[in-house]
Amino acid sequence: MPVTIYDVAREAGVSMATVSRVVNGNPNVKPATRKKVLETIERLGYRPNAVARGLASKKTTTVGVVIPDISNPFFAEVVRGIEDIARMYHYNIILSNSDKNVDKELSLINTLLEKQVDGLLFMGGEVTEEHLNIFKTSTVPIVLAATKDSQNMFPSVDIDHYQAAKDAVEAFIQYGHQRIALITGPLTDPLTGLARFEGYKDALREANIPFREDYVRVGNYRYESGMEAMKFFLELSDRPTAVFATSDEMAVGAIHAIQDKGLTVPDDIEVRGFDNIPISSMVRPLLSTVSQPQYDIGAVAMRFLTKHMNEEPITEQNVILEHELINRSSTK
């Protein structure tokens, strides 16, 4: 039914090798022949079969990208960076959503590898032993974006989560705050959970501010959990004067909890989020946050992957990009 390279060859009166050459932009074709072939391709509506091509050439010019949560604006922006660079290097991308589910992640990675992608970009909460094991079975390069494995076995692009959290807390301390609360993500997550938590603790310790259990609540990065955490803090007899949430959504939830109580941000309580996703500019007061270079994380990771795929020399294996404190109206 569909027209093949063979049909084109026959119609154009050349061999399929020649058709293949013009389709692939091989210069060793006489302009007249090229023209003739192009015309019959057009006339017949020939569309090259990428599957056959992939089998014959052993390259698919596509990379697999696994993303943990498609509805998270943070990753959406990372994907933008990935796509732009991919297009630049003529790679297609297969985007796969894992819903933060480890089983799905492993299964997606497998599927992607079966599909013979030329490389893989992995984003996810945590890189476990299981991940590593499946990564090791890959014959194509793999790059981790917005995460890394604990042993730095695989190339990665990320920020310094520990330092980022520490900077945020230190900013509060420098402003004179002593009662600083933390709304963190699950501490089981070594990077966005634990590392940021450590940053918080160390900042306090270095300033000789005693750590208080009741100034720390664990959320799940979502709005509701930020709200719940803040409600808890508000019940405390000596409630915090500053709150650092490790996601913008939780920070916004915290702000609303504060406002619902009749208090004001930042006058009564200051709040800072993390990530700098679009919503931080779509609330009142405008949210102060710790910004991650989302687009760059994606772009650098993709560029990194192309280097591996083309076996270009690479200098550093684990890239750390800069974070930045963004001060808007939820802090003074």
Query: Which residues would be at the binding site for DNA (CB under 7 A)?
Result: 2, 4-6, 13-18, 20-21, 23-24, 27-34, 46, 48-49, 52-53, 55-59
The token pair at 179 is 């009662």
Report the candidate in 250, 234, 316 with the shortest Cα–Cα distance to residue 283.
250
CB closer to DNA, 49 vs 111: 49
Phi, psi (5° rounding) for residue 128? -90, 180
Span of 31-39, 45-53, 183-191, 314-322 interacting with a second copy by CB under 8 A: 45-53
Taking the complex as a whole, the smallest distance from the CB of residue 232 to a second copy amounts, in Å, to 19
Judged by CB under 8 A, does residue 51 bind a second copy? yes
Taking the complex as a whole, the smallest distance from the CB of residue 194 to a second copy amounts, in Å, to 27
Instruction: Give 330's contacts (C-beta < 8 A, 6+ positions apart).
Output: 251, 255, 265, 266, 270, 271, 272, 273, 285, 286, 287, 288
User: CB-hemisphere CA count at 13 Å for 92?
Assistant: 11
Whole-Å CA distances, 93 to 9, 22, 191: 30, 25, 26
Q: Which does 57 bind (CB under 5 to 8 A by kind): DNA, a second copy, none?
A: DNA
Work out the end-to-end distance of the chain between its first and last CA atoms, rounded to an integer number of angstroms: 68
Asked whether the beta carbons of 328 and 287 are under 8 A apart, the reply is yes
Compute the radius of gyration of the chain from its Cα atoms. 26
Taking the complex as a whole, the smallest distance from the CB of residue 8 to a second copy amounts, in Å, to 15
Span of 4-12, 55-63, 211-219, 306-314 interacting with a second copy by CB under 8 A: 55-63
Residue for token pair 């010019």:
61
Residue for token pair 């032993």:
129
CB closer to DNA, 9 vs 66: 9
3-state secondary structure of 291: strand
Judged by CB under 8 A, does residue 42 bind a second copy? no
CB closer to DNA, 113 vs 165: 113
3-state secondary structure of 243: strand
Report the candidate in 209, 141, 128, 175 with the shortest Cα–Cα distance to residue 200.
209
Taking the complex as a whole, the smallest distance from the CB of residue 312 to DNA amounts, in Å, to 19
Spatial separation of the C-alpha atoms in residues 119 and 301, rounded to whole Å: 11
Report the candidate in 228, 231, 224, 232 with the shortest Cα–Cα distance to residue 249.
224
Judged by CB under 8 A, does residue 95 bind a second copy? yes
CB closer to DNA, 21 vs 303: 21
CB closer to DNA, 63 vs 121: 63
Taking the complex as a whole, the smallest distance from the CB of residue 34 to a second copy amounts, in Å, to 20
Asked whether the beta carbons of 296 and 81 are under 8 A apart, the reply is yes
Taking the complex as a whole, the smallest distance from the CB of residue 223 to a second copy amounts, in Å, to 5
CB closer to a second copy, 112 vs 143: 112
Asked whether the beta carbons of 109 and 134 are under 8 A apart, the reply is yes
Taking the complex as a whole, the smallest distance from the CB of residue 261 to a second copy amounts, in Å, to 12
Q: Which does 111 bind (CB under 5 to 8 A by kind): DNA, a second copy, none?
A: a second copy
Q: Which does 20 bind (CB under 5 to 8 A by kind): DNA, a second copy, none?
A: DNA
Label the pairing between strands 288-291 and 142-145.
Answer: unpaired
Taking the complex as a whole, the smallest distance from the CB of residue 213 to a second copy amounts, in Å, to 28
Judged by CB under 8 A, does residue 284 bind a second copy? yes
Report the interface residues with a second copy, using CB under 8 A: 1-2, 45, 47-52, 54-55, 60, 62, 70-71, 73, 76-77, 79-80, 83, 92-97, 110-111, 113-116, 137, 139, 223, 249, 252-253, 256, 259-260, 278-279, 281-284
